[in-house]
Amino acid sequence: MYYIGIDLGGTQIKGGIVDEEGKIIKKDSIPTGRTRKSEEIVNDICLLIKKLLSDENLSENDIYSVGIGSPGSLDRERGIIIANFNLGFRYVAIREAIRKVIPVPIYVENDANCAAIAESVAGVAKGLDYAVLITIGTGIGGGIIINNKLYIGANGAAAELGHMVLKMNGEACTCGRKGCWEAYSSATALIRQTKAAVVKNPSSKILELVGGDLDKIDAKTAFDAARMGDETAIEVIDEYIDILAEGLANIVNIFQPDVIAIGGGVSKEGENLLTPLREKMKGRTFFIGDLKNTQIVAAQMGNDAGIVGAALISKRI
Ligand SMILES: [Zn+2]
């Protein structure tokens, strides 16, 4: 038996057929066309599922379940996407639509939670009972695994780890509060911090790297310039990792998980990010003597996390 996972992204809808172990046996994608009506997008998801099945010569009898990973608010009971702000979805009955194509159990889950499920089933948290996944992207996504199950809270809306406030009355956050972790440690925040540093220090190598065009600064630019020994960039990265460590130390103190996996584009820096991060977290986490410490590692599932996690939702709920 296989599972189908759909990763409903803002630019691409990715789908895949996944086995019990979280291995993708077939995957495909289509452009989301986010400005289109929800009916058209849902119809395309149905076509993608049909194509995946026919490409592998499989039928509905070979599929245990279908999972949809989407950002935003979801009604898991009714299989409804309440709001997906990227796509302008409001109360889209996605389970009902997909069941017409393939009459198997259909699950909906938050995309950051799906990434946590993927790491738990097939990635760095495999075999561990307690894990937290942090995705550093446009915002900061969180997913929490407790006792080998996804933790979603009483109403399903838990794990908004990026929206813990680290600085009262600090930077404005997209959620409406000020000083959220996300407003300092997301890729968006790093880009903002890099730009601000260049404006203050125009002789920095950062500006050279982007040919003098501030708009070309991305989340990698400061890391690249720091590698070249640029003082301004080294300072930007140091401050960035400092507050990232502050948030992670809070998460360790609250959950004491086996592992915190860090995903998203910034995690591609690997040990350039992780070594100073672990160093900065020392002394900030609660003293636990010689008890087992939380491991801080890079997430493993990369771009496939959304597909694998969505496919295997049923294994962690
Ligand atoms: Zn916030």
pLDDT tens digits for range 206-244: 999 999 999 999 999 999 999 999 999 999 999 999 999
Instruction: Please state the rounded mean pLDDT for residues 64-71.
Output: 97
Report pLDDT for 106: 98
Residue type, 129: D
CA of 62 to the centre of ligand 1 (A): 42
Report pLDDT for 261: 98
How do beta strands 89-92 and 80-84 pair? antiparallel
Using alpha carbons, list the distances in angstroms from residue 273 to 111, 262, 269, 279.
24, 10, 6, 10
Instruction: Please state the rounded mean pLDDT for residues 101-129.
Output: 97
Q: Report the side by side order of strands in the sheet with 24-31.
A: 24-31, 12-18, 2-8, 63-70, 106-110
Give the model confidence (pLDDT) of 140-155 as tens digits.
Answer: 999 999 999 999 999 9
How do beta strands 73-75 and 80-84 pair? antiparallel
Report pLDDT for 268: 95
Instruction: Please state the rounded mean pLDDT for residues 295-310.
Output: 97
The band of 46, judged by pLDDT with boundaries at 50, 70 and 90, is very high
Which tokens hold the place of 240?
């960035």
Alpha helices in 201-270 (DSSP H): 205-209, 221-227, 231-255
Report pLDDT for 262: 98
Residue 60 has pLDDT above 90, yes or no: yes
**CA 87, 90, 94: angle at the middle one, nearest 5?**
85
CA of 252 to the centre of ligand 1 (A): 20
CA of 179 to the centre of ligand 1 (A): 7
Report pLDDT for 158: 94
Say if 2-109+304-315 and 124-299 have the same CATH topology.
yes
**CB-proximal residues (5 Å) to ion ligand 1:** 163, 173, 175, 177, 180
Instruction: Please state the rounded mean pLDDT for residues 287-302.
Output: 96
Q: What are the extents of the domains in the chain?
A: 2-109+304-315, 124-299
Tokens 């948030």: give the residue. Answer: 247
CA of 302 to the centre of ligand 1 (A): 25
Report pLDDT for 294: 98
Residue 85 has pLDDT above 90, yes or no: no
CA of 171 to the centre of ligand 1 (A): 9
Instruction: Please state the rounded mean pLDDT for residues 67-86.
Output: 93
Contact 219, 231 (CB under 8 A): no
Alpha helices in 83-230 (DSSP H): 94-99, 111-122, 182-185, 187-200, 205-209, 221-227
Report pLDDT for 191: 98
Q: What percent of the chain has pLDDT over 70?
A: 100
Phi first, then psi, for residue 295 (nearest 5°) are: -85, 135
Alpha helices in 27-134 (DSSP H): 38-55, 94-99, 111-122
By the 10 Å C-beta count (0-12 exposed, 13-18 middle, 19+ buried), 300 is classed as middle
CA distance 276 to 257: 20
For domain 2-109+304-315, say whether CATH 3.50.7.10 is its number. no
**Which carries the bigger pLDDT value, residue 169 or residue 84?**
169
Using alpha carbons, list the distances in angstroms from residue 286 to 49, 77, 178.
47, 38, 26
CA of 78 to the centre of ligand 1 (A): 28
CA of 145 to the centre of ligand 1 (A): 22
CA distance 176 to 134: 21
Residue 308 has pLDDT above 90, yes or no: yes
The band of 86, judged by pLDDT with boundaries at 50, 70 and 90, is confident
Using alpha carbons, list the distances in angstroms from residue 235 to 189, 201, 223.
15, 11, 10
Closest CA to 19 of 8, 7, 5: 5
Residue 132 has pLDDT above 90, yes or no: yes
The band of 285, judged by pLDDT with boundaries at 50, 70 and 90, is very high
Q: Compute the mean pLDDT over every residue in the chain, rounded to the nearest whole number.
A: 96
**CATH architecture of the domain covering 124-299:** 2-Layer Sandwich (3.30)
Report pLDDT for 18: 98
